[in-house]
Structure 1
Amino acid sequence: MKKLFVLAVALVGFTITSNAQQISDNAIGLRLGDSNGLGTEISYQRALGNDTRLEVDLGWRNGNDYNAFQLTGLHQWVYLLDGNFNWYVGAGGGIAAFDGKNDKKGTDETALFVAGDIGIEYAFDIPLLLSLDFRPTLGFGDFTDGLNFDIALGVRYQF
């Protein structure tokens, strides 16, 4: 009887440990970035496997001088660091649009960009995921021209 109990406890412990190393199926929340991006973005992550996922972020800014939005899609590979700590790296791209309001030229632009992503995250025992990432983007257009860098804190609900 003792052997069966010890075996059951070991099996449950192995199952819990195995699940803790996998990424959640879904996570939704905010990516709080700096102004080189568009600031705060709505962020959604969807697991594609045990260690890969898709992240889609939508950011917009509505100002006195311009309106802008940016839609980013990234494929990320997630690697275990220790316990609930992971690090990840990703690549992708997106589309951005800019509408200048007060300039005489009436600058309107839609442009494409490519993006990379590297970061660290911690998955709490409650359904909370915190991350810190660095995202360089290379834009092709007047508004998004050149290399930009974005550093952001992610706060997401996992389900």
Structure 2
Amino acid sequence: MHVELLQAQKNYGRYELGLRLGDTYGGSAAVDAMFPLAGNRLHANLSFHHDGLILAGLYDWGFPIAPNFIFYPGVGGIVFIGDDFQLGVAGELGFEYAFNIPLSIGLDWRPVITIIDDGGFSGDGFGLNIRYRF
């Protein structure tokens, strides 16, 4: 079992590029990427809203829970640039499965607290992630 969990961690530390479908702070789809970073990873999104651009960057910690299956909590920031400017702090809780082909699929929840502009809370940031691993 220990070797299988090490394989899950190895799959976690790879570059990934794909889509995040679901609420992305006002958008419904985002270009989704993962970058290895000091044993963990940077989770980045880019999406377009009807009146602007949304960028998110989160630092995720990976915890293998089964072969090819990872739990990842994270924290970071989100910015909206458009008719107005918004800046927020985002959290993230997610699960990801890495197939034995270069494909991963995951589900996550990303609550956001806006600190510049309206000062509100958004807790409906659920997403489905489909990414190519390389």
TM range (shorter): 0.7 to 0.9
Unaligned runs of 5+ in 1: 1-13, 100-108
Query: After the TM superposition, which residues 34-49 of structure 1 pair with which residues of structure 2 at under 5 Å, given as runs?
Result: 34=23, 36-49=25-38
What is the aligned partner in structure 1 of residue 56 from structure 2? Answer: 72
Structure-2 change in CA distance of 1:74 and 1:147 (3 Å): same
Higher relative contact order (CA 8 A, sep 6+): 2
* Offset at residue 18 of structure 1 (A): 3.6
Deviation at 1:39, TM superposition (A): 1.1
RMSD: 1.8
1:40/1:59 contact within 8 Å kept:
yes
Q: In the aligned structure 1, how far is the partner of 2:9 from the partner of 2:94? A: 17
Contact 2:24–2:30 at 8 Å: present in 1 too? Answer: no
CA contact (8 A) 2:13 2:41 kept: no
> Does the Cα contact within 8 Å between 1:138 and 1:146 map onto a contact in 2?
yes
Instruction: Please give the alpha-carbon distance, in whole angstroms, between the structure 1 residues aligned to 2:55 and 2:106.
Output: 19
Shift of 1:35: 6.7
Counterpart residue number, 1:111:
86
Show the counterpart of 2:117.
Answer: 141
**How many Å separate the matches in 2 of 1:37 and 1:48?**
28
1:90 to 2:102 alignment: no
> How many pairs align?
129
Give the match's secondary structure for 1:38. Answer: coil
Q: Percent identical across equivalent pairs?
A: 36
Where do 5+ consecutive residues of structure 2 fail to align?
none
Residues 24, 158 of structure 1: 8 Å contact kept: no
Which of the pair has more CA radius of gyration? 1
Contact 2:8 2:64 in 1 (8 A): no
Using structure 2 for the length normalisation, give the TM-score.
0.87
- The TM-score, its normalising length taken from structure 1, stands at 0.74
